[in-house]
């Protein structure tokens, strides 16, 4: 037993040291901001405000979303399994988290405090929080101007969307996880996206955040458009797509009129400064002509 512990300690001690040796060759001199981001939305926002060069470490969730030239960046883990030693070796100026403040591990707080790393805990659940966060990220990365410009641009895009909001909004349910069925409820950015895209999120009634519902409740909500988020999967091949079949059997208007569609954008469940494109896409789907039958 004791031997086991000693071995584990040795292994735990040696592995980061080895990786550290490999990394030390590419360590750059301390010039300008160096940011470790454990939140994919924050990473995307940093990219969007032109602060790509300031990113020195990312989370595992970031990997598939990064441009090829940045895939080599070291992965420091997420907020639950942060590799503090690796973080220190990267000698960042700021560490980005997205977590409720009282839940941040004390070790992370003391580690950042002792090493003069700025701990930036962000929160992006609504559009308002997106703007605040983008400003914060702009200031820690030295890209305040670009951040301000991106915010202004997004605000104007959103106002265009709000003005061109169609007259007859269809009833929409947006599923983000299928087993069990989890839908977009009230008071979150995806709810705002549905509204901006021109639909009514009928699942708002089911609760805040992302409530779980049964197929029976889904049938009673009777959406005219059913959206299913499958981030990163291949786009739908049309009404015969096997992933759509279980939903087309439901007794809801959306199934009857073949208004069931997959949202496969990898960033569908994130809020970033490029959300305008996503909302445009949602609007196209929500107001598309039905695949079968009459209607709009």
Partner 1 sequence: MKAVNPSRLTVIALVGVLLTALIFVMCLACGPGAPGQRTISFGFPEMAILQLRLTRVEAAAVAGTALGLAGVLLQGLLRNPLADPFVLGISSGSTVGVMIWIVFGQALEQSFTGSPWMENLFNNGQTIPALIGAVVATWLVFLLGRRRGGMLDPMTLILSGVIISTIGGALVMLLNNLVPYGARTDILNYMFGYISEGTSHTLILAACISLVLAWTGALALGGAMNIASFSDAEAHSLGIELSSLRLSAFALAALATAASITVAGPIGFVGLICPHVCRGIFGPDHRQLLITSPLLAAIFLMVSDTFVRCTGAYFNGELPVGVITALCGGPFFLYLLNRRRTWM
Binding site for partner 1 (CB under 8 A): 60-61, 64, 177, 179-180, 182, 202-203, 205-207, 211-217, 219-221, 231-234, 237, 242-243, 245-246, 251
Q: Rounded to 10 degrees, what is the CA torsion of 279, 282, 288, 293?
A: -160
Sign of CA dihedral 195, 197, 202, 207: negative
d(CA 117, CA 294): 60
> Minimal distance in Å, beta carbon 198 to partner 1?
21
Decide if 121 contacts 97 (C-beta within 8 A): yes
> Minimal distance in Å, beta carbon 276 to partner 1?
23
Q: Of 40 and 138, which has the nearer Cβ to partner 1? A: 40
Q: Of 71 and 220, which has the nearer Cβ to partner 1? A: 220
> Minimal distance in Å, beta carbon 82 to partner 1?
15
Tokens 């955040």, residue located: 209
Half-sphere exposure (Cβ direction) of 68: Cα atoms closer than 13 Å: 0
Phi-psi region of 171 (alpha: psi -120 to 50; beta: other; left: phi over 0): beta
Q: Of 75 and 148, which has the nearer Cβ to partner 1? A: 75
* DSSP three-state, residue 3: helix
> Minimal distance in Å, beta carbon 114 to partner 1?
30
Q: Of 147 and 173, which has the nearer Cβ to partner 1? A: 173
> Minimal distance in Å, beta carbon 207 to partner 1?
6
> Minimal distance in Å, beta carbon 241 to partner 1?
9
Q: Of 70 and 219, which has the nearer Cβ to partner 1? A: 219
Decide if 138 contacts 285 (C-beta within 8 A): no
Q: How many residues does the chain have?
A: 296
Q: Of 135 and 243, which has the nearer Cβ to partner 1? A: 243
């Amino acid at each position: 037993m004791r031997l086991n512990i000693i071995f584990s300690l040795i292994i735990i001690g040696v592995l980061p040291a080895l990786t550290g040796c490999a990394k030390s060759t590419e360590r750059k001199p301390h010039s300008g901001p160096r940011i470790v981001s454990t939140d994919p939305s924050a990473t995307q926002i940093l990219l969007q405000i032109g602060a790509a060069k300031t990113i020195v470490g990312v989370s595992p969730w970031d990997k598939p979303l990064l441009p090829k030239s940045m895939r080599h960046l070291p992965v420091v883990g997420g907020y639950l399994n942060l590799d503090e030693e690796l973080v220190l070796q990267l000698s960042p100026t700021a560490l980005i988290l997205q977590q409720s403040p009282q839940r941040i591990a004390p070790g992370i707080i003391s580690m950042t405090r002792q090493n003069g790393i700025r701990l930036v805990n962000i929160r992006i659940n609504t559009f308002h929080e997106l703007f605040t966060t983008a400003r914060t990220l702009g200031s820690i990365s030295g890209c305040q101007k670009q951040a301000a410009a991106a915010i202004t641009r997004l605000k104007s895009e959103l106002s265009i969307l709000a003005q061109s909001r169609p007259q007859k909004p269809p009833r929409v349910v947006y599923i983000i996880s299928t087993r069990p069925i989890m839908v977009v409820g009230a008071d979150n950015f995806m709810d705002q996206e549905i509204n901006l895209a021109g639909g009514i999120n009928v699942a708002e009634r089911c609760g805040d955040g992302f409530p779980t519902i049964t197929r029976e409740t889904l049938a009673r909500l009777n959406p005219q458009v059913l959206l299913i988020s499958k981030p990163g999967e291949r786009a739908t091949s049309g009404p015969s797509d096997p992933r759509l079949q279980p939903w087309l059997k439901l007794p809801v208007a959306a199934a009857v009129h073949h208004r069931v569609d997959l949202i496969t954008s990898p960033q569908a469940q994130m809020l970033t400064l490029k959300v305008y494109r996503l909302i445009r896409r949602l609007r196209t789907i929500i107001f598309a002509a039905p695949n079968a039958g009459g209607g709009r």
